[in-house]
Amino acid sequence: MKLPPSGNYAKFEEIKLRDGIASAWISREMDDAPWDKFLQQSPLGQFQQSAIWARVKEVEGWKPVRVVVTIDEEMVGGFQLLWRSSRPGRMGYVAKGPVVAPAHPGLADFATGLLTRLARSEKLRALIVQPPDLCGQMAAELATGGFDLETLEGVNDATWVVGLGDGFEAVERRMNGETRRKARRAAERGITIREGGRDDIQTFFDLMLSTCRRQEVSPSPPDVRSFFALWDAARLSGAARLTFAEWEGKPLAGQIDICFGQTVTQWKKGWSSSEAKRFPNDLLTHQALQWATANGFQFFDFAAFDRSMAIRMLNGEPLTPEQEKSRYIFLARMGGTPRLLPEAQIYLPNSVIRMAYRTLFRNKIRKAKAKSRTLGQLSGSSERNPPPAN
């Protein structure tokens, strides 16, 4: 993809790679359609790197700095860094990035250097980076580029993915038999599925808050304005889909899915906890998988799973009695496979703070690294949808 001439981009840095001159361009604009298009076409691109997502996070005070890398004017990679001020200072976060084309040797190393230089030039106190889900090389590049394993924020490190490429009949066959029966019974017991619009966002938010109260967790995002921001940013591309499971016109459960590239991601869901014997959640999820398959998407990502459960399942080990009762069992019954995600890493530009961090969390970092090496082989040999792109 060609980088269009634009006053929004300024030259940031340049380096000679084996296959040409790589130029890094920087932009602080909220909107960036060419970058979003590049992400949509890349097997590593995810919505968290998009300008659409920057609009959502703007509500929480985050501001974007976007770096695009070109070789011979062809866009080959980059990343979106979001930052905001906090009591300790400016904090930066790169979610599911950098995105780099694996066909260009040295590009991942260049991107890592850009991250650290940008962290310093932007006067960040800390920069947290979690590579794309299917990126095998960035974690190693970050580790050799001055990053340490992040031990504080609790970034999501596992998910559950259903492959849709074989058609919905195959998807349904891989579901747990009880799940299929519950979906049928839900329809028989009067549950209907309705697509919602912008006017329904507050209704959905109330359902999500109800779920958070039962699970005794804080709502994320905590402000309904983030949901309106997503809807408005995704309106033209149709990237957001809101659906409800209703009984006699009353919304019982709802979910917001983000459609980006080849993947539909279940971003947020909520349930009133009423009419459980009508199985509204089973039909809602069943219909979402059916819709995603019918509309040509290749994967459905539930955006959450328990890492310890994922490890046991990938090892072919039975789940513990406690794990069998976990709320994540609902996802496992939908068919699909668990996926271990790259762990987040942190860069601290200040050398004194960096050494203090390494000293304070030395044992935790050492154990995490040992665990990562052990899991690396497991993650690499597990079934991936699609296979790693690099």
Contact (Cβ atoms closer than 8 angstroms) between residue 142 and residue 114:
no
Q: Is residue 53 part of a domain?
A: yes
DSSP category for residue 2: B
CA–CA–CA angle 180, 182, 186 (5° rounding): 120
Q: Is the pLDDT of residue 366 over 80?
A: no
Q: pTM, whole model, 2 decimals?
A: 0.91
- The rounded distance, in Å, linking the Cα atoms of 328 and 253 is 17
Q: Are residues 220 and 290 in the same domain?
A: yes
Three-state DSSP at 77 gives strand
The reply to whether 247 and 370 lie within a common domain is no
Find tokens 């509309």 and name the residue: 295
Model confidence at 362, pLDDT cuts 50, 70, 90, reads confident
Strands 124-130 and 90-95: parallel
pLDDT tens digits for range 223-279: 999 999 999 999 888 999 999 999 999 999 999 999 999 999 999 999 999 999 999
Q: Which of 316, 293, 317, 289 is nearest to 302 (CA)?
A: 289
- Does 1 map to a domain? no
Do residues 242 and 357 share a domain? no
50 assigned to some structural domain: yes
pLDDT tier, 154 (very low <50, low <70, confident <90, very high otherwise): confident
178-224 pLDDT, tens per residue? 999 999 999 999 999 999 999 999 999 999 999 999 999 999 999 99
CATH code of the domain in which 80 resides: 3.40.630.30
Percent of the chain residues past pLDDT 90, beyond the cut: 80
